[in-house]
Amino acid sequence: MKFLFQDTWLLWIQTHRMLLGILGGLSILAFLGTLLVIPIILTRIPADYFIRQPHRKKHTSGFYRTIHYFLLILKNIFGVIFLVTGFAMLFIPGQGVLTILIGISLMNFPGKRRLEKKIVQKPSVLSAINWIRSKAGKKALILENS
């Protein structure tokens, strides 16, 4: 029984070499991409992001409202891409938790701020973020209890 499973698995790998190569290449590309993009995004977050009140801009004109909604949809699409990539990076090489955090930060949904704070308050995540920020010469993130 054990040998039958191994033969089936090896046969599947041999017949799907191209797919495995593409997935491996995408994994490496996602890993390298996050190494470049995550520090840029984390250093652009204001130090007081988690203690200030979010502000909402109202766009009353038709043209600006259309542009606003287009950019909002685009931002949410990028958020979902980062979120899915972050979940994948929990199993493949990459900065999974930080990528998930960035994906959540880009998306709009109820309870987003609370979820962001919960993730950032984990000591390992906060120290990683503040280490990246210190390397870029930025202040550490300020949390309510610090």
Q: What average pLDDT does this structure show over 95-120? A: 87
Spell out the domain ranges in the chain: 29-135
Distances (CA, A) of 51 to 6, 105, 116, 144: 55, 15, 12, 6
Span 40-49, pLDDT tens digits: 888 998 898 8
Q: Exposure of 57 by Cβ count < 10 A (0-12 exposed, 13-18 middle, 19+ buried)?
A: exposed
Span 4-40, pLDDT tens digits: 666 787 888 888 888 888 888 887 887 787 788 888 8
Question: Is the entire prediction scored with pTM above 0.75?
Answer: no
